[in-house]
Structure 1
Amino acid sequence: MIFNTFMPVRVISGTGCVKEFDYSSFGKKCLIMTGRTAAQKSGLLDDLIAALEKMSVEYITFSEVEQNPHVNTCHYAGELAREFEADFIIGAGGGSAMDAAKAAAVYTKNPDFEPNDIFTKKVTSALPFILIGTTAGTGSEVTKVSVLSFDFNGKPYKRSFKDDLTYATVALCDSTYTNTLNWEITSSSALDIICHAVESYFSKQADCLSKTYALKAIEIGWKAIVKAHWQNIVEKRQIEGACRQDLLTASIFGGLAINKTGTCFPHALSYALTSRQNIIHGKACAYFLPEFIRRMSKIDENGVKLIAEATGEASIDDFITGIESLSGARPTLSIDDCYEYTELSKDSASIRNALVNLEEQEVFEIYKKLFTNKFN
């Protein structure tokens, strides 16, 4: 048994963990970073502020993190933290808020960085930060990766950066704050869990430990998705708390898996769809997952069999059908779109991370196959 792993985040899970955590152990002043609605609507921001005030921790709140956070936004948040002389940052919200907090922690301690420097310059220090999620899917709480938007040829695009200094010190995981999510966000986030796990399993970087995390994420996550769909869509009632907790648990396992391995081409090719078509992240990734599974089945038949067993479905084809049903109708792209998105995606490290690489022409053919009516 050979593996090499590093994950320094202290993960604290359970109802009430946000209210009970000792934030004063991090210092006297903090910047809270949130999106525009999730932390507020879920009740997280109110609970967090009450806890900070109880512990006499001064805070300022920055609630302007957009979906697919832009480097300029994160750079500005870093300036705020530096001017406030914050001792730490709290990223509270979905994956965007958490990824933005990672970036802001870097900008705070590297005042010479211009916004795009985060992708190319050596990170020498970062402000300590705590992450608290309001979705169950990204796994960002336990990874060092931050996915950010930047301007490329006058248009937005997404790129990731990572460093051992961009792990959270603590992740607080309370599924209570996911209860207010609508079905679109719940299902998309859940699909992200499955994409993380399946992509991780077939990564060149995978080992016995990461595969264990991946299979556990699939086992817990897929059953929870099916149950949540039944409760919300078929029976038209609220998703039960136990189901929400399972989704959050699966999200953490998926995050632990990709923390070791990274993602593969479903994530790499999805970025153009989220940047150009405004398609929600998990769904965009899931559009590519059936094609990924079919390609991996030719290389690792036993691995695909184990994944099918973990889902509890009768076959891998039934699993694929479920993914396609949950992800819904795909957008229609022009051939020019396919060429543009290929150009944007072709150099991503994730394309070269699976058991077999994708060539540029294959990237184009996948876009064309999935999103146009032209197959030749």
Structure 2
Amino acid sequence: NGTEAPPEPRPAAASPPSPPAASRDDEEDDEDFQFLLCEGCGQDSAHPRLLGCLHTLCPGCLSDTKQCPLCRAALAAPAVDNLLFSNLRSRLQVWRQIRSSRGPGCSRCRAEAALVWCSDCEEFFCARCFEEHQWWHKKKEHRFRRVEELRAGSVQQFLEDTKTSCSLFCSSASHPEESRVCSVYCPRCERALCCPCALLDTAHAPFRDLRAESHRRQEELRSLRRDLRLLRGSFEAALARLRGEAERREERRQRLRERVQASAERLQQLVRREAEELQALLEARPEPGRSGLAEELRGAEGTLLRLEAAERLAERLGRYGGEQELMDMQPFVRAALLQLQRLRPPRPPEPREPERFAQCRARLRAL
């Protein structure tokens, strides 16, 4: 067609076995992506589920669909697929094939060693299959790289390259038999469209450029993340005050318990029964407000976990998420983040001594 053909890959010599340093690099890469594991059991899952509190769990840990097992937040909406983690997990599996000692095999013939990776097809090709690929797609400019070049790079560079290589396809029912790449975003429908569908659907104009919409959503996530960081600081300070008040109450309770025990030891057998009644007075009935303080502590800790999970997910979605993840997950994540923004840190209760503590002291003086 008059254009210069891409350089044909030549069979490369068999690469020597990877040195021990390479295996250590792979272990470090695995440690960097521990967040892909289930936050409940710590196991790898092919179908991670994202909850309304923005924690990610495997289907096995999601036995209770009404409450998060980590932060105990009520789940008003059903869990959705965490496309960011699923796609990132798939890309990391491709990277492990590239860095393996045997190297990846051809995705087409499955008989020869792969020499080229096509980012658009997301497939490995040997020399013969790559020639056929170039002939079938000679009018398209597919991006490809040699496997040896990818092997020499880093996992972060590979993820950055594959993040931009994904394409969104139009989901309109007007062309079910044809896959068209999206380049237009409809704010009214909140979905991506191809150019022909956008031209035919004049009722929803004006449209936005898909990349501009992706950039806008990235900026919105950054802004929400900054606000969440400030809100998280307020919750951490409130939680510290609640814990301090709980510790002071526990210290007062412990001192009073020790006084009761010391008085009971000094008394004779005739007053031991009264000392036992005082001990029961302290321990039998729950202190008014104690259960409420414990509930506030659990609620503040759960909310802090939700804020931490939201901040992590917003950062990772902005760092590793492509256009597909932003289109599919951003509305769900944004709704959850806006809901978190409406939360306010709890205020610790006013310090006051329970009435039965004074009653206990009076009975001690009588003894």
TM-score normalised by the chain length of structure 1: 0.23
- Structure-2-length-normalised TM-score: 0.23
